[in-house]
Structure 1
């Protein structure tokens, strides 16, 4: 099961970090390529011409916690959500589905979720009401809760993820959190691709191009950080690619993440996956929260049947704690 947790959460990788060593420039046409510790980063013309302190900007991107914070904020607000999940057959038809409208209540330091409407088709649910598909389990681990939970907060400073002392499902959940919120580092216990997740090292810079741009998004100015594989990679280099494309938009005024989109794929002897994901943020008061997540994935592991699924999470009617 841990391989499926890995496949699902790989779609939630954020931005890459940068070395703090002194940099140099290579001007190539309209773009400026910065060489940092043997890695190359491309600044688009608008970034160079603006005269901003790009090094400080990149370090803020490196140390970003706003993405993690946005999901932690879901623990301390009330909201309503539409939850749509479809499992597909080989030809793309729907073989099982799940729809629900849920409302999270938050009061007196506790939260609990109320199901306002629910419909399922096919074998999406087991007879006991549990999800029959791992795609559904992953969705529930992010957006759905059971029972009442108290004493939570949205603090991210000082929180560390570790698999030490954990086993079974608890270890898998911790790996999920590590990949979700601290990507780009080697994760223990993941066969074949653990080292390929280290997007901070020199080897990664041989495989990927990194670019920083500036534009508008939904009427606001944003910095855009993107990563994609280098062109012309040979067969053996391509075998080390996990990220096919990734784009993160940061609000230019607050440096909060406003959206991320991903496309990832990998094939190994025991499993394979091909997934895409989009996440969009909004605000409730001064709190950043996710308002939409769209996922489409196809994955298989040696001990599990292949799953072809897609889902959309739509969150709205956010309210602070009563």
Structure 2
């Protein structure tokens, strides 16, 4: 009798023909997306580390602004009554340098310290100028069929990874260029609310964790001694995290709260998979620091994971 894992693999092989069963890696059409199948309830996603720029997919530019409805239409051919507007309908196309390398390094470090367990890793190989999978589908793809298919595959790979376990943790890997040079952990809580304390577990992408850990205050899970930020800083004090016990909020500084992937695939609205967007400064992603940081992050995630998700 097939195991659940093998049944899912066969199902995905039917949907996606580019598969390497020996390594348990599945590629979407044209290898624009990749799914490295894991054997634990930890998922790592890499939405903005891709470099492929096929000529068949036009580059994303600004959307079309409808002044009468104050609405953007993300398409290459503006509907009547709308105009291209790079201010009101701006889109992001900048690559998060070395986030793909960071995620793969992190996966190897987790495998080392867990004795062979490895996370699910889901990668978008398309340049962000062609596809941004951390956005709603229309803004992500501009209605281009090839881009839409890659977006669908990326989301299906996440759903498949989530189906392996009743609960788990998703880490969405990004890079930032903020001058503070700290690590930003996004839980869908705005920087203003972090600074003011005006939030509850229901506002966050770790709502299920809070419900499961009902005997632990949410504040402790988010930025106290049971938080991911604290676990990272315990590995090395130079890896300053927001939020954490030492930096409970950005204090008016720069901070990304998390985007579409964390919002859609975290537990805020439903489900039992919690999600965190991790934004890394450039110095951490560079080749000199990356292996040191990934070893520390692997230990931090493993400690956090073992306490909350095993």
Name the one with the larger helix percent.
2
Task: Work out which of the two has the higher radius of gyration on C-alpha atoms and give 1 or 2.
Answer: 1
TM-score by length of 2: 0.28
Q: TM-score, normalised by structure 1?
A: 0.27
